[in-house]
Structure 1
Amino acid sequence: MMAKNQIKLYNIGYRKEEQQQLPIVIPLVIYHGKTSWSIPTSLGANLNGYEELPKDVKVHVPDFDYIIYDLSGFSDEEIKGKVQTRILLTLLRDIFTKDIDELIHSILKCIHYLLELEDKQTGIEFLETMIRYVFSAANNLTKRDMEVIIKEIETTFPKGSEITMTLADIFREEGIQKGIEIGEANALAKTAIKQLTAKFGCLPEEMKEDIKKLDVITLELILSNIFNYTHLDDVKKIIS
């Protein structure tokens, strides 16, 4: 009944737009991971058991090839288009695949791209978006790296320096808070392992590793119920 209603609703929307045909959709994947793309580029090859289906069933299962753009192989010369597009693709290409010095070089290059924008307000807004992305995605940036970026902005794009300084302070505070949370989780994990070992004896190494990966809330839950557990399976239910 639900499927029938869904089809009915779709047909109403379809007639409302007075469209006689569906639009053409070309599937496209833009990839910027740490390693090269290795997944098959056809939908059927990614469907479990698709090749074993009978022909009369296959005709009812969608299968198509999608276009893959693996940005890691693009050179600066191949990245073209408007300023915002070049900045976006450059950062996506380099944020995970370059060492820190090369990444800094790319970031500084993108700052210079902003000078090509005639509307400086648009440049400031895009700069804010760019720096937010860089500071959050590139978690290996040091204080010195951030200072280099800020100095370049102050020299090249001074109107955006105030925003950058504010964002730098925000992300620095978030980094400190994250460090505090990690430290607290590590301490709670050690306590949980110690108390569970005292109650049940030696714990499996796999369980110890799973406990070390838990967040503060889950670890506090385990510790608050430590005396209620009758078997390690009770703990495994919480961990999983």
Structure 2
Amino acid sequence: MFLKLISHIFDDNFENGLREVLPLLIELRDKTTGLEYIETVVKYILNIGEEISLNELDQKSKKISAEGSAVIMTIAEKIYHDGKEEGREEGKIESMHEMIEFALELKFGLSTKKIVQDIKKIDDYDKLKEIKSAIRNYDSLEELTDSLNF
């Protein structure tokens, strides 16, 4: 099923590949592993077939099977919303990295490049908030780095 879809993902007529795959998706949806397969296929469609929007996927799959479209769109919307949440979290972390870098350069000057590289490796938002707060408490970069164990 997956290979059939892959073979059609870049075709001008993606709908033919989808037409062959949807009946199989309907059969698999009630099985736990079937739902995992469906999610994998939908992720592939949304990520690899970059020109295919949720709306286009919905329209094309509805032409073939309303029931199959409902299955695909439920999963596609979940993937989309999960991705937005993940993107928001990544955005918060990136903003925190930028704020910390700005605060370090403002307080300690350009000699902060090494610590900035180490801090950019941190993806724990709460840890980054602690670092941002710690910058206020130290008068030298050495004291700060010692307190952070860098």
**Distance in 1 separating the partners of 2:107 and 2:20:** 62
CA separation of 1:161/1:194 partners in 2, compared to 1, >3 Å: closer, same or farther?
same
CA separation of 1:173/1:234 partners in 2, compared to 1, >3 Å: closer, same or farther?
same
Q: Which residue of 2 aligns with 1:31?
A: none
1:222 maps to amino acid: I
Superposed CA RMSD in Å reads: 3.9
Q: Which residue of 1 aligns with 2:40?
A: 133
Picking from 64, 75, 88, the partner of 1:180 is 88
Picking from 120, 145, 149, the partner of 1:232 is 145
Aligned positions, number? 142
Cα deviation, residue 197, structure 1: 2.3
Larger gyration radius, structure 1 or structure 2: 1
Picking from 122, 125, 128, the partner of 2:27 is 122
* Higher RCO, 1 vs 2 (CA within 8 Å, ≥6 residues apart): 2
Contact 2:15–2:61 under 8 Å retained in 1 = no
The alignment status of 1:222 with 2:128, answered yes or no, reads: no
Q: Deviations over 1:76-118 (max 9, x none)?
A: xxxxxxxxxxx23456x67xxx9xx618966861541444x5x
Cα deviation, residue 170, structure 1: 1.9
CA separation of 1:113/1:170 partners in 2, compared to 1, >3 Å: closer, same or farther?
closer
Question: Tell me, which stretches of 5 or more residues in structure 1 are unaligned?
Answer: 1-86
CA separation of 1:161/1:188 partners in 2, compared to 1, >3 Å: closer, same or farther?
same
**Distance in 2 separating the partners of 1:220 and 1:144:** 38
Q: Which residue of 1 aligns with 2:60?
A: 152
- Normalised by the length of structure 2, the TM-score is 0.63
Cα deviation, residue 122, structure 1: 1.8
Cα deviation, residue 151, structure 1: 2.0
- Normalised by the length of structure 1, the TM-score is 0.44
**Distance in 1 separating the partners of 2:102 and 2:80:** 33
1:88 maps to amino acid: F
Cα deviation, residue 192, structure 1: 0.8
The alignment status of 1:192 with 2:100, answered yes or no, reads: yes
